Structure 1
Amino acid sequence: MARIESRVRDLVGSDADMRAAVETVLDRADDGEVEWADVRDELTSGQWGRLIEKGILVDGDEGFRLADVGETRAGLEDDTSGSGGSSSSSSTDVDTGDSSWSKYDKGAAVVTVGLFLGYSVSEVRNVIGGVMDVVLGPVAGMLPFYAVVMVLALATGLYSTLLQANLMDMEKMGMYQERMKDIQQRQKDAKERGDDAELEKIQEEQMEAMGDQMGMFKEQFRPMVWIMFLTIPVFLWMYWAIGVGGNAQPHIDAGTIVLPLVGTAEWTQGVLGPMQAWIVWYFLCSMGFTQIIRKSLNIDMSPSAS
């Protein structure tokens, strides 16, 4: 299948509304040339942009033109052909057009980058630690520090799970994985048949799928930004409270902790290589609570195409 025809098939296959958009552009095109003013009453700006992004519309003399009118029309026809019985396009299409970050996501990302300074700049750590102590200080005054860490691990595990469940589209991620498996299988079959034309078409499809992959990486990183946005201040408070870092002074009497296979240890003592007792205890609590939360809320973080 030719390149433009394949792109049109993929586009209308992933979004039923795009078929009408492509047909409108074909009807309004004059010798292949078409301008936004000619179709804006029928197309959305997003649909127009996707046609340009996919290379179906390219720069023309006065506006835009169809890269290949014949192939564009062919791409709208029912796909009943194939080589050796295999489908000439991926059986699983993924629409990642809605993977852009909102202004709030971008704002949280910028603030998160600034919060990272607290790990190396004591002045930033002291400010954030002092602010967080307004809320966490009374908790530390009522509970031993190991219990405070457990409470923080429970809280961070809860909102991390909820953020991932609500901000990540597991079905879309599963569909993307299915699409990649389908492409790999068809590529393997084409190599066994020695079908060079099919291989070339599949390679073009793989290149287009790379754009989907970047969109999925953005979707996966989106909840991580919010998780770090909420979690870094908690970590910086623990840094500030027990005096982690060179020349840092503890602000609470945390005492000691008894760890399995380690025994009694200071909170800032390295117990697992360079990892100090407080971070080891936090991760142990966090992993345990996270599993309990996911089971209790019946939240499955595995990608699924079903």
Structure 2
Amino acid sequence: MPIDQLDVLLDTPSIREALTVIYERSDESTEELEWSDVRDALSSQQWGRLIEEGVLVSGGTGFVLSNPERIENALEQYDELEDEAESRIEPARWSTVDKAAGAFALALFAGYWSSGVQNAIASVENAVLGPVTTPSPSTPLFYCSRPSRVSTRRSYKSD
């Protein structure tokens, strides 16, 4: 099996996991495996793909890894790369704006339970949004432009 082909297979996380399981269950490729030995951890598609690609070859009564040393080295390299990637991930830091937005959100939540907080938030809201909600000279035009609905039905009294 060419080296590039093994690298392409190992780029797929599910195949990499399948190879790890096969390698471990075959006691580092000293024993032959059958499908029944790994069917609880591998799908039939993974098992079949490994056979088709030549990673697993037929042994006496089961299947063995075609080149266990190369597969072991490749799996170790991927493990090292994953460990390096995990160590490089830094936790996200909150900026001042993020902290202020979080504090404001908590204050709004607290406003549901505490009438003091609710009144404080309402007074700030009125100061900020009050000028926007006051009637302007054009406000009566909106109310006058709507057609009124006058009932044209007549009611007759029956004797």
TM-score by length of 1: 0.23
Q: Which has the higher helix share?
A: 1
TM-score by length of 2: 0.44
Q: Which has the higher strand share?
A: 1
The structure showing larger relative contact order (alpha-carbon pairs under 8 Å, at least 6 residues apart) is 1
